Amino acid sequence: MTTRLRNLNMTLHYADDLKLFKSRQSRVGIAVIILAGVLLPLSVKDDFWLSVLNYAGIAAIGAIGLNLLTGYTGQVSLGHAFFIGVGAYSAVYFGGHHGLPLPVWLIAAAVVGGLIGAVIGPFALRLRGNYLAVVSLGLVFIGLHVFHNWRSITGGPGGTSVAVPLKLGPIDFTKLSIGSYEYTRNQSFFFLVWFVVAVAALLAKNITRTRPGRAMQAVRDRDMAAEVIGVSLARYKVGAFVISSALAAVAGALFASYQQFVQPDSWNLFVSIQYIAIIIVGGVGTIFGSVLGAIFIGAVPQLVDKFSAHIPLVTKSAGGGGGFHLTVFQLNQMIFGALIVIFLVLEPRGLAAVWLRIKAYFKAWPFSY
Amino acid sequence: MNRGKLIRLVAVIAALALITAACGGTKKSSSSGTSNKTLAAAPGFDPTTNTIKVGVITPLTGPVAVIGQPLTNGTATWFKYINAEKLIGGKYKVELVQEDSQYKPDLGVQAYNKIKNDVTVIGQLLGTGVTKAVLPLLKADNAMAAPASLDADWVRDPNLIPVGGPYQIQMINAASYLVNDLSQKSNVFCSLIQDDAYGQAGQQGIDFAAKELGFAVKSTAKFTAGGADFTAQVQQLKGAGCQDVFLVATPTDTGKIMGTSAQLQFAPQWVGQSPTWIGAFIKSPLLPYLQQHFLLAAEGTEWGDTSVQGMTDMLDRVQKYSPTQQPDIYFVFGYYQAQAVTALLEKAVQLGDLSRAGLVNAMNKLGTVSFNGLTGDYQYGKASDRNPPRNSTIYKVDPAKPGGLAKVKYQFESDAAKKFSF
Amino acid sequence: MTDFLQLTFAGLALGALYALVALGFVVIYKATGVINFAQGGLVLLGGYLTYNAHHTWHVPFLLAIPIAMVLCALVGAAVERVVLRRMVGQPVFAVIMVTIGLLIIIEQVVTGIWGFNQMPMGDPWGIHRLKAGGLALAVKDVWTIVFAAVVMIAFFLFFRYSRLGVAMRATAFDQEAAVANGISARRIFALSWAIAGAVATLAGVMLSAGGAGVRPDIEFVALIAFPAIILGGLDSPSGAVLGGVIIGVTQTLTSGYQPQYASWLGDGFGSAMPYVVMIAILLVRPYGLFGTREVRRV
């Protein structure tokens, strides 16, 4: 039983503190988000924004995993791209070569990712901080080498097309039909991706608000002290790797099934850096931030592209060579880089912190000073 | 909240949901549009302004932009000429819609989704990875695209508009030149290839030629694109005593390979595929080495050669519409690829249908397209009937020419190349 | 045997190149604790500025290098002043992300000004070689090794004997105490970025010399220099050089012998081998060869 004074959210029991949605506002908020998430693909037909959001959703799953590892447990990993690749090729193998149904290949990808994460995890016990980061970078390059050469699954440097079953019982995620209406691949896929995002976010949030989450944060803050009070470093560091690589593998599997074509060079260092960018811009150590960051990094370059067409002195087309010549495409990149810099200078704790600030402002309103 | 309020709220939400859901779906029983004799509006074609839009998805930033920029400029220059002097079917202008793919397949997919309903065809799609990622979408939409690389895979695809003789043909003709014209059959042949699909395409041609012409490839060295050091590969070839080496690389790596070879005093007869060359080499210290030891297997003719009609016309148009353009083989490629796209559009206008189905139909009915000597004539039509050009031009390095290349043997088709099947 | 020596020499030259890039990273990390992802951008800028000085301003090549070094140092210090200064005290992740954002901006500015084509540097070393025994030593490679050695010795002397160098070490060790002693931490930070810019110019020049030419993808060498930095220890200049040499020699020897003797490892193992070596060494010495062991208190 909870006793609540209006707008003050005082709680009497410990269990209430752990609740996911503490106030009526947050419950209404999540209901609105779910409703919007369900209605959006049904009402929007624009394949472009749907594909942007689909890729962003896939990135969000990977980012949630990385945030668990780096944000909550403090193990900086630049090797995320490798696990995404592992997931993609698991999908190719289980879904493509063996034709297993959707839930099977998706979970198999998670299992394979987790197992490999369990192998890599013990390295984290030996290395710390920046050294761990760069060793994980090595994982990406060794992974690239393995993917290049394991031609039977990856198709070698030329890549392989991916054709996996995407049906869950009567629901076909390549062309959904509700009543007498049919929906496109992008619209149907949106449901699959963002449903998995919701599941991953719930899973991660449950981990972080209970005992394992507290243990992980203890490891991040002061691992020696944590060990002294009885938190098993081996268990939580390796465990964090397992979960994060499982989630990354799920993201990779969905990526491969969505794009229908993958090549080994796709899983390079830039992808790892992009994920680090997502969790930093979104807010290190928050789940909501991972999703926000993924949407930001995925959608903002496209938004910049839309509006920069109106900037004078910048040409839309490629040039003939000679002299200072800035195309709108180069400008887009520059604006994107500048946005990241400016945003982080102003709010280093990322989008989630901005969101919390807004919430706090309105909670104390009209006494917001 | 009491029960009545709750029921009302649920009803409102359900109504909203049904309405919005109806907006996004398409009724299953909807019929496709009817065709009529006058040119109807279609995606990318606006009959009120008589404008046909053509899409371009190329890396315009990032390291591959060194290819993407001149490529797009070539296409743009051709269409500037069309808009100023000829017009499609005497009536329609062409407008380019450009998107930057940064050479990444996922961005290419997003770019395609962005412009697919605004354009009739994708007139330029650079990158094997990008093309292969966009291909399933093209098939789902029954749309067409022109891939900007010389992969043999594109020949037999009904949704693609290939141009030029594929890489395999270049290597076969090059081998034929060495064996027949330079009488080097008894030499030691080797190859140095990039470790990816592009390298494999060239190697496939080399192996075919070896079988047909009766020589053996003694040593094949591979390297990763963008590698920092090539001493190991050069030593491997030098140790095998290679006298003729086929090279499949990109200009950056070519420069390093040639530099290392010069330093290690390894001087075989190099024969490179068309993308190995860049004009900047004539200003580099590599020039003497290249002049003596490097041949390029490509198509068409050298920049500035007025004996070929296609080149004369192109130079004229460069002068008028893009005077700052430096000699660049990618510019030429983009230029004649645009000619292929134009031929397709002209055919579609002639048949009276610029819709996607109409374009696929036009491609099936398109005969042989000539490029006035810039590249070999391409026999289009149904995918199974197509025949790409099987000729190549061999160039040597000549700093006196604007592009740094002088043709040695122009547009020839070897017997071995005739036999290669796609 | 000549093959082996030839490969080793090429590896030493490659390692010297990595060392030049790694030294820039190490200087910034030592002074400010930041891993500067924009170092590749400074390498790029340094190479292009040298090209510009030599070709557009018609300065003789050997004078163009110091001019470009000074300019690039100024850019580094300016970046530090304008952007990084505001990030002092912020979480490390945010600072790293800012450097990544800066890298994106620098890339676009450089290609906007000079275009995407590769251009010959115009260096006097070209593809000349020295003969020594049966070996052909590229003059450009010899000079790369010389430059790396000179920079390493200069760093050593600077950090050990000069006032500014000692001040930098003090700031890296304990910022508060250093400031309390009258050392201006702001000046030290700016100086470290300036030095990184200057060293990056050297790296950019040597990457573009010879047949390769100055081109947009020289910034990616910074990524391959990461193992070199880590191997030697993030805050040790001599470690950076040793790490670079180990990585370079490993790469060339593996590329040379692996296809013959261990082809089961697959094609192109030479580019993965440095990382395997790095992981192996770090498992034994978790702070790199010469990195300072962290003192961890509960």
List, run by run, the mean pLDDT of 10-residue segments along chain A (369 residues).
Answer: 53 77 79 87 83 94 95 90 96 91 93 94 83 86 91 86 85 78 86 94 93 93 90 92 96 94 89 90 91 92 78 57 66 84 86 88 73
> Alpha-carbon dihedral of residues B107, B113, B115, B119, nearest 10 degrees?
130
Give the whole-angstrom CA distance, residue B337 versus residue B75: 7
User: CB–CB of A39 and B16 under 8 A?
Assistant: yes
A66 to chain C, closest Cα gap in Å = 13
Measuring CA to CA, which residue among A324, A332, A344, A330 is closest to residue A306? A332
User: CB–CB of C138 and B263 under 8 A?
Assistant: yes
Mean pLDDT, rounded, of chain A: 86
Based on the fold, state whether residues B355 and B376 are members of the same structural domain: yes
Say if C101 is an interface residue toward chain A (CB within 8 Å).
yes
Measuring CA to CA, which residue among A159, A33, A184 is closest to residue A92? A159
CB C75 within 8 A of CB C197: yes
Instruction: State the pLDDT at residue A292.
Output: 93
For residue C3, give the nearest of B65, B233, B235 by CB distance.
B235
Say if B228 is an interface residue toward chain C (CB within 8 Å).
yes
Q: Alpha helix locations (H) across chain C?
A: 2-32, 39-55, 61-82, 92-114, 139-161, 163-173, 175-180, 185-208, 221-232, 237-261, 273-284
Say if B157 is an interface residue toward chain A (CB within 8 Å).
no
Instruction: State the pLDDT at residue C272.
Output: 87
Based on the fold, state whether residues B178 and B267 are members of the same structural domain: yes
Give the whole-angstrom CA distance, residue B297 versus residue B172: 10
Instruction: State the pLDDT at residue B35.
Output: 41
Report the half-sphere exposure of C293 (CA within 13 A, side-chain side): 7
User: CB–CB of B280 and C120 under 8 A?
Assistant: yes
Bridge partners of residue A145, in order along the sequence: none
User: CB–CB of A157 and B196 under 8 A?
Assistant: yes
Q: Nearest-CA residue of chain A relative to C89?
A: A348
Measuring CA to CA, which residue among C149, C161, C156 is closest to residue C241? C149
Say if C119 is an interface residue toward chain A (CB within 8 Å).
no
SS3 annotation, chain B: CCHHHHHHHHHHHHHHHHHHHHHHCEECCCCCCCCCCCCCCECCEECCCCEEEEEEEECCCCCCHHHHHHHHHHHHHHHHHHHHHHCECCCEEEEEEEEECCCCHHHHHHHHHHHCCCCCEEEEECCHHHHHHHHHHHHHHCCCEEECCCCHHHCCCCCECCCCCCHHHHHHHHHHHHHHHCCCCCCCEEEEEECCHHHHHHHHHHHHHHHHHCCCEEEEEEECCCCCCCHHHHHHHHHCCCCEEEEECCHHHHHHHHHHHHHCCCCCEEEEEHHHCCHHHHHCCCHHHHHHHEEEEECCCCCCCCCCHHHHHHHHHHHHHCCCCCCCHHHHHHHHHHHHHHHHHHHHHHHCCCCHHHHHHHHHHCCEECCCCCCCCEECCCHHHCECCCCEEEEEECCCCCCCEEEEEEEECCHHHHHCCC
Q: How many CB contacts within 8 angstroms connect chain B with chain C?
A: 116
- A232 phi/psi in degrees, rounded to 5: -75, 110
Question: Does residue B102 lie in a domain region?
Answer: yes
Instruction: State the pLDDT at residue C226.
Output: 85
Based on the fold, state whether residues B399 and B276 are members of the same structural domain: yes
Interface test with C, best of B64, B72, B100, B229 (most C CBs within 10 A): B229
By mean pLDDT, which of B28-37, B165-174, B391-400 is the weakest?
B28-37
Give the whole-angstrom CA distance, residue A329 versus residue A337: 13
Q: Which two tokens stand for residue A311?
A: 């900037």
CA distances from residue C246 to A37, C9, C268 in whole angstroms, order as listed:
53, 12, 18
CB B65 within 8 A of CB C116: yes
State the chains in contact with B (3 or more Cβ–Cβ pairs under 8 Å).
Answer: A, C
Bridge partners of residue B54, in order along the sequence: B96, B121
Q: Nearest-CA residue of chain C relative to A278?
A: C97
User: CB–CB of C116 and B65 under 8 A?
Assistant: yes
Instruction: State the pLDDT at residue B34.
Output: 42
Q: Nearest-CA residue of chain A relative to C226?
A: A134
> Which residues from chain C sit within 8 angstroms of residue A269, using beta carbons?
223
Q: Nearest-CA residue of chain A relative to C97?
A: A277
β-pairing verdict for A177-178 and A181-182: antiparallel
Question: What does each of the 298 residues of chain C score in pLDDT, given as a tens digit?
Answer: 888 999 999 999 999 999 999 999 999 988 888 889 899 999 999 999 999 999 989 989 889 999 999 999 999 999 999 988 888 777 777 888 888 889 989 998 998 888 888 888 888 888 888 888 888 888 889 999 999 999 999 998 998 899 988 998 888 888 888 889 998 888 899 999 999 999 999 999 999 887 778 888 888 888 788 888 888 888 888 888 999 999 999 999 998 888 888 888 888 888 888 899 988 888 888 888 888 887 777 7
B 375-394: CB under 8 A from C: none
Interface test with A, best of C29, C86, C97 (most A CBs within 10 A): C97
Q: Which residue has the tokens 């059959």?
A: B185
User: CB–CB of C294 and A144 under 8 A?
Assistant: no
For residue C252, give the nearest of B66, B231, B283 by CB distance.
B231
Q: Nearest-CA residue of chain A relative to B62?
A: A330
Instruction: State the pLDDT at residue A14.
Output: 78
Instruction: State the pLDDT at residue C96.
Output: 83
What are the structural domain ranges in chain A?
A: 44-363
Say if C283 is an interface residue toward chain A (CB within 8 Å).
yes
B140 to chain A, closest Cα gap in Å = 10
Question: Does residue B14 lie in a domain region?
Answer: no
Say if B200 is an interface residue toward chain A (CB within 8 Å).
yes
Residues in C lying within 8 Å of B, measured between beta carbons: 3, 6-7, 10-11, 13-14, 17, 108, 111, 115-120, 126-127, 129, 136, 138, 210-213, 215-217, 220-221, 224, 248, 251-252, 255-256, 259, 267-268, 270-271
The interface predicted TM-score of the complex, written ipTM, equals 0.86
Instruction: State the pLDDT at residue A313.
Output: 59
pLDDT tens digits along B291-314 = 999 999 998 888 888 888 999 999
CB B284 within 8 A of CB B255: yes
C 147-166: CB under 8 A from A: none
Say if A55 is an interface residue toward chain B (CB within 8 Å).
yes
User: CB–CB of B284 and C271 under 8 A?
Assistant: no
CA distances from residue A267 to A148, A256, B223 in whole angstroms, order as listed:
11, 12, 19
**pLDDT, greater one: B339 or B42:** B339
For residue C234, give the nearest of A130, A280, A281 by CB distance.
A130
> Which residues from chain A sit within 8 angstroms of residue C38, using beta carbons?
none
CA distances from residue B226 to A221, B15, B195, B256 in whole angstroms, order as listed:
40, 58, 11, 10
Instruction: State the pLDDT at residue A293.
Output: 93
What are the structural domain ranges in chain C?
A: 15-220
User: CB–CB of A333 and B61 under 8 A?
Assistant: yes
- CATH number at B256 reads 3.40.50.2300
Report the range out of B15-24, B37-46, B327-336 with the highest average pLDDT: B327-336
Judge whether residue B89 has pLDDT over 90.
Answer: no
User: CB–CB of A325 and C93 under 8 A?
Assistant: no
> Which residues from chain C sit within 8 angstroms of residue A218, using beta carbons?
none
- A112 phi/psi in degrees, rounded to 5: -60, -45
Q: Nearest-CA residue of chain B relative to A37?
A: B17
Instruction: State the pLDDT at residue A322.
Output: 45
Interface test with C, best of B69, B220, B284, B328 (most C CBs within 10 A): B284
Q: For the stretch B382-415, what's the b/e string if a residue is b when 16 or more beta carbons lie within 10 angstroms of its beta carbon?
A: eeeebebbbbbbbbbbeeebebbbbbebbbebbe
Give the whole-angstrom CA distance, residue B244 versus residue A101: 52
Measuring CA to CA, which residue among A265, A216, A262 is closest to residue A241? A216
Instruction: State the pLDDT at residue B29.
Output: 45
Residues 6+ apart with CB under 8 A from A217: A72, A73, A208, A285
User: CB–CB of C120 and B283 under 8 A?
Assistant: yes
Percentage of residues of chain B with pLDDT beyond 70: 92
Positive or negative CA dihedral for A149, A152, A158, A163? Answer: negative
Based on the fold, state whether residues B195 and B246 are members of the same structural domain: yes
Question: Does residue B370 lie in a domain region?
Answer: yes
Give the whole-angstrom CA distance, residue A9 versus residue C58: 72
Give the whole-angstrom CA distance, residue A96 versus residue A208: 35
User: CB–CB of A134 and C227 under 8 A?
Assistant: yes
State the chains in contact with C (3 or more Cβ–Cβ pairs under 8 Å).
Answer: A, B
Number of independent structural domains in chain B? 2
For residue A317, give the nearest of B61, B76, B140 by CB distance.
B76
Place B365 in a pLDDT band, splitting at 50, 70 and 90: very high
User: CB–CB of C97 and A145 under 8 A?
Assistant: no
**CATH no., domain A44-363:** 1.10.3470
pLDDT tens digits along B193-229 = 988 888 888 999 999 999 999 999 999 999 888 788 8
For residue C217, give the nearest of B63, B260, B265 by CB distance.
B63
Bridge partners of residue A160, in order along the sequence: A262
β-pairing verdict for B294-298 and B269-273: parallel
B 172-201: CB under 8 A from C: 195
Q: End-to-end distance of chain A based on CA atoms, in angstroms? A: 33
Positive or negative CA dihedral for C58, C63, C69, C74? Answer: negative
User: CB–CB of B221 and C259 under 8 A?
Assistant: yes
Q: Nearest-CA residue of chain B relative to A268?
A: B104
Helix (H) or strand (E) holding A171: strand A171-172
Based on the fold, state whether residues B118 and B187 are members of the same structural domain: no
Based on the fold, state whether residues B364 and B411 are members of the same structural domain: no
For residue C221, give the nearest of B228, B235, B258 by CB distance.
B228
For residue A158, give the nearest of B106, B128, B135 by CB distance.
B128
Give the whole-angstrom CA distance, residue B227 versus residue B213: 33
Measuring CA to CA, which residue among B330, B77, B110 is closest to residue A317? B77
User: CB–CB of C127 and B262 under 8 A?
Assistant: yes
For residue B263, give the nearest of C17, C136, C251 by CB distance.
C136
Angle at C277 between CA C276 and CA C279, to 5 degrees: 65
Q: Nearest-CA residue of chain C relative to B265?
A: C136
Residue A64, phi-psi category: left (phi > 0), alpha (psi -120 to 50), beta (remainder): alpha
Domain containing residue B316: 45-165+306-389
Instruction: State the pLDDT at residue B151.
Output: 85
Q: Per-residue pLDDT averaged across B5-23, rounded?
A: 67
Say if C297 is an interface residue toward chain A (CB within 8 Å).
yes
Judge whether residue B30 has pLDDT over 70.
Answer: no
Q: Which two tokens stand for residue C285?
A: 């010495």
User: CB–CB of B263 and C116 under 8 A?
Assistant: no
Instruction: State the pLDDT at residue B17.
Output: 63
- pTM value is 0.88
